Amino acid sequence: MKILSLLIIIILFGKGCDEETAKNAETAVIEYTANTRGFYQKIVVENQMVSVSTDREGNDKPVKTKISDADWKILTDAFQKVNLDNLPNLKAPTEKRFYDGAAIAGLKVVFKGKTYQTTDFDHGYPPAEIATLVNKVVSFGKK
């Protein structure tokens, strides 16, 4: 009987934690930037809305666009698989940005009041651990 009670408690608390994580994933702010001398792009995802800016000085007023439910599901699933504490330790798979072969990119996530940020990597070639998330965010900038 004690074992059964313990199992039920573990299951209930386990499900509660999953639901809380999913709910909080919607409150995260995901910011992707890519730039070089002649190119700038900043994509900000927050609360199922996306804004894209191509003005490095911030003079343009980016229009917020609603993310479709299907894209939002893919994004939140990818977000939940990312280890935020490990973001600063990720290694870039390529080094094209060192010789102007690719724009310099970075990912910043603000989640539960804490900021997590990657080191620089090549635009179009994110570290494998965050590739799904980055590629989905970048796809919003192409629309």
pLDDT in tens, 21-80: 443 568 899 999 999 998 999 999 999 999 999 998 878 888 899 999 999 999 999 999
Q: Which residue is associated with the tokens 């002649």?
A: 38
Interstrand relation of 39-46 and 49-53 (parallel, antiparallel or unpaired): antiparallel
pLDDT reported for residue 28: 94
Q: Are 108 and 115 in contact (CB under 8 A)?
A: yes
pLDDT reported for residue 1: 52
Q: Does the pLDDT at position 10 exceed 50?
A: yes
pLDDT reported for residue 23: 39
Q: Which of 49, 44, 53, 48 minimizes the C-alpha distance to 65?
A: 49
pLDDT reported for residue 60: 81
Q: Are 110 and 143 in contact (CB under 8 A)?
A: no
Read off the pLDDT band of 13 (50, 70, 90): low
Query: From the centroid of its chain, how far is CA 108?
Result: 7
Q: Does the pLDDT at position 7 exceed 80?
A: no
The amino acid sitting at 62 is P
Cβ neighbours of residue 141 closer than 8 Å, sequence gap 6 or more: 32, 41, 43, 52
pLDDT reported for residue 140: 93
pLDDT reported for residue 15: 47
pLDDT in tens, 82-138: 999 999 999 999 999 999 899 999 999 999 999 999 999 999 999 999 999 999 999
Q: Which domains does the chain have, with CATH numbers?
A: 27-142 (3.30.1560)
pLDDT reported for residue 44: 96
Q: Does the pLDDT at position 18 exceed 70?
A: no
- 91: enclosing H helix or E strand: none
Output DSSP code: residue 120: P
